[in-house]
């Protein structure tokens, strides 16, 4: 099994005719993702990607004509929140927003609406999600993955890839890997993903990649302590970051207290999570936790 996406997901690409949409949609199709339609206002009635994919003016029309239930967004930041809202109102169940740089005010409005509509959002500012050998939504390189029984949850795109590589190097494959995004306001949290992996019978262990700033890793760890039956291994990026300075992601800023890397690592350990000092240790630590 998997979580969130699989070979039966019917995918709609918002912004499919742009350069990013074209490039990554081609990669997703080659991986086997079931892309059924695209949306670019003003270009409805055309086809793209070697005439394989119909383009519609609105998400509502695309859903009606192609029964799409999953959307991935490749549109500029000034339009991305509007694209999220449009997909939610059209009845899309899962939205993945790759776009970075969304204004916080826009994201607040979008999150209120999707919460009310019961729409799940991955991102924004994320590498997407991949269920190995079934469906790739986003910019993750599919060739680095191997089918297996480990779930991966990460705030960082590049560290997601590194964690997957470290797992593969010790013979561990993945069920689903999710880049949840590093913005201050995102759609799906680490705890949300842990709950999904806990319910997935084919996932036997989970890796979480966190970073400085915020409380998300702590909330996930405390939930896992009492609710998670499967081993969890964690890594916290930003161990040398000075207080008050943003490091990389908009959400990665230490304000003091327990949002430093050191404090988070200690809390994860107290909650029974195996903590890697280096991302290079993740694979072996996960393998040891499976024994």
- Return the HEC string of 220-287: HHHHHHHHCCCCEEEEEECCCCCCCCECCCCCCECCCCCCCHHHHHHHHHHCCCEECCCHHHHHHHHH
What are the Cα distances from residue 16, in Å, to 12, 55, 73, 117?
Answer: 9, 8, 8, 24
Q: What is the CATH number of the domain that holds 206?
A: 3.40.50.261
What are the Cα distances from residue 271, in Å, to 203, 218, 221, 254?
Answer: 20, 9, 6, 22
What are the Cα distances from residue 288, in Å, to 187, 231, 274?
Answer: 32, 10, 10
Q: Is residue 59 domain-resident? A: yes
The active-site residue out of 111, 230, 249, 264 is: 249
249 flagged as catalytic: yes
Which among 14, 18, 4 is positioned nearest to 35, based on CA atoms? 14
Same domain, 38 and 171: no
Relative to beta strand 94-97, strand 274-275 is: unpaired
Q: Is residue 135 domain-resident? A: no
Q: Is residue 130 domain-resident? A: no
Which among 144, 141, 138 is positioned nearest to 124, based on CA atoms? 138
Domain count, the chain: 2
Residue by residue, pLDDT tens for the chain (291 residues) are: 689 999 999 999 999 999 999 999 999 999 999 999 999 999 999 999 999 999 999 999 999 999 999 999 999 999 999 999 999 999 999 999 999 999 999 999 999 999 999 999 999 999 999 999 999 999 999 999 999 999 999 998 889 999 999 999 999 999 999 999 988 899 999 999 999 999 999 999 999 999 888 889 999 999 999 999 999 999 998 775 565 555 554 444 445 566 788 889 999 999 999 999 999 999 999 999 997
Q: What is the CATH number of the domain that holds 102?
A: 3.40.50.720
Query: How many residues does the structure list for the chain?
Result: 291
Same domain, 116 and 165: no
Pick the last residue of a domain from 122, 156, 178: 122
Same domain, 199 and 87: no
Q: Is residue 265 domain-resident? A: yes
In what helix (H) or strand (E) does residue 131 lie, and over which residues does it extend?
A: strand 128-131
Same domain, 227 and 269: yes
Q: Is residue 106 domain-resident? A: yes
Same domain, 116 and 146: no
**Full domain range(s) for residue 73:** 11-122
What are the Cα distances from residue 272, in Å, to 10, 164, 265?
Answer: 38, 22, 11
Same domain, 274 and 146: yes
Read out DSSP for 66-114? H---EEEE---HHHHHHHHHHHHHTT-SEEEE------HHHHHHHHHHH
pLDDT at 129: 97
Q: Is residue 133 domain-resident? A: no
Same domain, 176 and 73: no
Dihedral sign from CA coordinates of 89, 176, 263, 271:
positive
Same domain, 152 and 270: yes
Q: Is residue 129 domain-resident? A: no
Q: Is residue 6 domain-resident? A: no
Same domain, 164 and 207: yes
Same domain, 186 and 104: no
Same domain, 160 and 75: no
Same domain, 146 and 279: yes
pLDDT at 283: 97
């Amino acid at each position: 099994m998997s979580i969130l996406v699989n070979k039966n997901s019917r995918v709609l690409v918002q912004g499919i005719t742009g350069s990013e949409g074209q490039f990554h949609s081609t990669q997703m199709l080659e991986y086997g993702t079931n892309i059924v339609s695209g949306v670019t206002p003003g270009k409805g009635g055309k086809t793209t990607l070697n005439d394989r994919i119909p383009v519609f003016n609105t998400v509502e029309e695309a859903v009606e004509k192609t029964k799409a239930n999953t959307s991935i967004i490749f549109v500029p930041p000034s339009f991305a929140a509007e694209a999220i809202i449009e997909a939610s109102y059209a009845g899309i169940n899962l939205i993945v927003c790759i776009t970075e740089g969304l204004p916080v005010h826009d994201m607040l409005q979008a999150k209120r609406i999707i919460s009310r509509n019961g729409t799940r959002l991955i991102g924004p500012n994320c590498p997407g999600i991949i269920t190995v050998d079934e469906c790739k939504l986003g910019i993750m390189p599919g060739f680095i993955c191997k089918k297996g029984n480990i779930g991966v949850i990460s705030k960082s795109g590049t560290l997601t890839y590194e964690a997957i590589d470290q797992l593969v190097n010790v013979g561990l494959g993945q069920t689903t890997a999710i880049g949840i995004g590093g913005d201050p306001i995102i759609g799906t949290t680490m705890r949300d993903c842990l709950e999904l992996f806990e319910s997935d019978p084919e996932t036997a262990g989970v890796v979480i990649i966190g970073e400085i700033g915020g409380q998300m890793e702590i909330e996930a760890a405390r939930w896992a302590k009492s609710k998670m039956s499967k081993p969890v291994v964690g890594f916290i990026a930003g161990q040398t970051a000075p207080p008050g300075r943003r490091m990389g992601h908009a959400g990665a800023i230490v304000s003091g207290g327990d949002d430093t890397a050191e404090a988070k690592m200690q809390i994860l350990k107290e909650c029974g999570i195996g903590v890697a000092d280096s991302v290079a240790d993740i694979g072996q630590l996960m393998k040891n936790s499976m024994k």
